Amino acid sequence: MRSFLSIAADSSFSLQNLPLGVFSTRDMPTKRVGARLGDFVIDLAFLEAKGLLVTPEVVFDHPDLTAFMGLGRKVWAQIRKSLMALFEADNPVLRDDSAVLARCLVAVSDARLHMPAVIGDYTDFYSSMGHARNVGMMFRDKDNPLMPNWKHLPVGYHGRASSIVPSGTPIVRPCGQVKGNDEAEPSFRPTSRMDFELEMAFWIGKDSELGRPIPISQARDYIFGVTLLNDWSARDIQSWEYMPLGPFVSKSFSTSISPWIVSLEALAPFEVEAPEQDPQPLPYLCSTKRMQYDVELEVLLKTSRMQRFERVCLSNFRNLYWTMEQQLAHHTITGCNMRRGDLLASGTVSGMEPGSYGCLLELAWGGTQPLTLKETGETRVFLEDGDEVMLRGWCQGDGYRVGLGDVTGVVLPAQKD
Q: What residues are annotated to the active site? A: 131
Q: Are 226 and 267 in contact (CB under 8 A)?
A: yes
CA 402, CA 265: separation in Å to the nearest integer?
A: 11
Provide the pairing of β-strand 291-293 with 271-273.
antiparallel
Residues 6+ apart with CB under 8 A from 328: 202, 204, 214, 216, 219, 222, 223, 338, 344
Amino acid present at 7: I
Angle at 345 between CA 336 and CA 81, to 5 degrees: 95
| β-sheet bridge partners, residue 195 | 233
Contact yes or no for 312/363 (Cβ under 8 A): yes
In DSSP terms, which residues pair with 293 in a beta bridge? 271
Angstrom distance (rounded) from CA 248 to CA 238? 7
CB 202 within 8 A of CB 322: no
